[in-house]
Structure 1
């Protein structure tokens, strides 16, 4: 029976903040071996398409679970997409402008960020995000947003962004004052389940690697969730297995000794 294996990006396949900007050769070989044996390999990430570098796009993954499950592709086919309602996006943007919160609207191909959001641009530079699919020219009425990210400059902004998680949204708050906002109906796990249904692969034949808080649902949903050694203990508690760190080829080690 074929298997499906899902990989987070940051802290799992690469670690841009600590100098690892490409998948290591050993991990590449291990993933290729999975495909050679007829299995499927996918990226499952909070990132939108615009945040994928050329190496990830061109590697040859069998598909992508993007924007925490709001946009899902198998091969070249989109099997699921659900944008945030335009009226809701308008209301949020009005409030962001009022509170001087920098923001980005993450779309299907392009993501939309104002040129004067200098701090947020600098934040993405740290992650080697290409400007190729980022644009400051957009009309809120014309675009679809699947996920939002915000960078707050003061406590008032932080309090507002945190309050959005009480109702229809899920959010991740980071120590640097940045937030990721997406619909409660979506997660990496929900996107993975859509892939498994589309490919007719049972959940017990699915695996996922991750290290962050937004990986918890997928680690506890797939047949075997594998936490990276660099994940914190809270995330590890939701996994069935723990491998080595991203810098020590943790993904390759577990593929070689367990999945294959």
Structure 2
């Protein structure tokens, strides 16, 4: 029976901060071998579509679980999408504006960020994010938003963003960069993966996932075999069934060769 394998991007397939901005040749070969044997390969990421570079889009993945599961597509067909309530978005944006918090609203194809948010633009440039699908002229009341990321310029903004984990939202916080990722609790990479498996009629025990971050924990513990990267925190590794090597040591390829093929 066919298998479905899901890959996180940052810290798993690539690591831009360490200069690994493309999937390495060995990892490409290993994923190619999965496909050659008739298996499915998917991206499962916190990134929106706008943050996918041409190399990822053109690689040949069978689909994408995007914005932590809030938007899911197989080939060119969307099989699930659930935008954040527009009233909540309006309330958040008003507060961000008051507190000088830079933000980006991540949509279905385009993501929306003001041209004046220079620090946040610079942050994404460090991750080699293209501006092709970044829109600066928008009305936040009219766009569908699946995830929000913020950069705080002072303690007041940080303190407010730290209050946003509630019944509606989860967040990931990077203390060093003062950045947040805010996403709905109604969706996760795991819920998106389960929708893919149901659509393709693949049993959970035939699914695998590679990840390294806290937003990978649910998918690592939900799939048949969760494989943590060697560069993951020990806490994250505790939710995986297997642990492979680091990104720079072709950990994904080693994991595919050792645990799947």
* TM-score range normalised by the length of the shorter chain: over 0.9
Aligned to 1:25: 25
Shift of 1:103: 0.2
- Structure 2 partner of 1:142: 142
* Structure 1 residues 186-228: Cα deviation after superposition (integer angstroms, max 9, x where no partner): 1100100000000000000000000011100100000000000
Q: CA RMSD in A?
A: 0.6
- Any unmatched runs of 5+ in structure 2? none
Q: How does 1:74-153 map to 2 (within 5 A)?
A: 74-153=74-153
The farther-off stretch of 134-143 and 12-21 is: 134-143
Measured against aligned partners, the alpha-carbon deviations of 1:132-155 in whole angstroms (never above 9, x if no partner) come to: 000101112321100000001112
Aligned counterpart, 2:9: 9
CA distance, structure 2, for counterparts of residue 167 and residue 224 of structure 1: 29
**Cα distance between partner residues in 1 of 2:167 and 2:258:** 43
What is aligned with 2:168? Answer: 168
The answer to whether residue 159 in structure 2 is matched with residue 159 in structure 1 is yes
CA distance in 2, matches of 1:166, 1:54: 36
Q: Match of 1:105, SS? A: strand
Q: Deviations over 1:1-30 (max 9, x none)?
A: 110000000010000011000000110010
Q: Could you tell me the TM-score, scaled by structure 2's length?
A: 0.99
Alignment TM-score, normalising by the size of structure 1: 0.99
Give the Cα–Cα distance (whole angstroms) in 1 for the partners of residues 158 and 216 of structure 2: 23
Alignment of 1:212-231 (within 5 A): 212-231=213-232
1:111-162 deviation line (CA, Å, top 9, x unaligned): 0000000000000010000000001011123211000000011121111111
Quote how far apart the aligned CAs of 1:85 are. 1.1
Tell me the secondary structure at the aligned position of residue 20 of structure 2.
Answer: coil
| Alpha-carbon shift at residue 166 of structure 1 (Å) | 2.0
Structure 2 Cα separation of the partners of residues 213 and 246 of structure 1 = 17
Counterpart secondary structure, 2:41: strand
| Inter-partner Cα distance in structure 2 for 1:136 and 1:164 | 25
**Alpha-carbon distance between aligned partners in 2 of 1:149 and 1:118, rounded to the nearest angstrom:** 14
Using the alignment, how far apart are the partners of 2:45 and 2:259 within structure 1?
23
SS at match of 1:72: strand
